[in-house]
Structure 1
């Protein structure tokens, strides 16, 4: 398996709930680094999707490098997850809903090919789930 070279990046107010949601979708945990003083704060985490997709995230309240202009904003990201088959779209959609997602679009066939669905995670990030792998 090749290591990903592009990572989608997120922030969560409740990192443990974020981890539970990502795991319910089917992400695989690779690394979780917690704050030594407050283990509820995730300084850095990496989760992989399928053979070559991945995301990194941390807690919104974590302290960044002094002088950094980065602002950890919650609930403003969107991500497209490619699944192997049309049936997988329905399965991942149902797992997301069971994990507390809000439906943005029930599974439906697309004119350009494949099937897709959309959900928002409990913190408002939007996830598109589809079988269309792109060109």
Structure 2
């Protein structure tokens, strides 16, 4: 496995709901550091996205106070057009809501967007970039 070099950084009011949502999208857990006195508080979580991507997050009120819950947009590149629909369905089942229905992108590929339970936007895209 390649070590990711770039992470989106997020904050969540409900870290456990965030973990459920991110697992549904296909992220895998690398590290979750919880508070010793309150297990619902996550000081640091690191999740892997396939071979070279990832997200880091923590509970709101922990760490960098300039990272606000519900204000991020993250682009997830998926394997193909069909996976856009599959990942969208999994995210919706885990509490997300549709921001943009699946569609053909003018630059190629297929995309859709959904919001996680706290309002962060997740763009699902089969276009890998150039």
TM-score, length basis structure 1: 0.93
Larger Rg, first or second structure (1 or 2): 1
Which residue matches 2:113?
118
Aligned match for 1:96, one of 91, 101, 120: 91
Mapped partners of 2:119, 2:92: distance in 1: 13
Give the 5 Å matches for 1:54-73: 54-62=54-62, 64=63, 70-73=65-68
RMSD (CA atoms):
1.1
Deviation string, structure 1 residues 9-29 (Cα, Å, up to 9, x no partner): 000000000000000111001
Which runs of 5 or more residues in structure 2 are unaligned?
A: none
Which residue matches 1:75?
70
CA apart distance, 1:72: 3.6
Which residue matches 1:40?
40
Which residue matches 1:14?
14
Which residue matches 1:3?
3
TM-score, length basis structure 2: 0.96
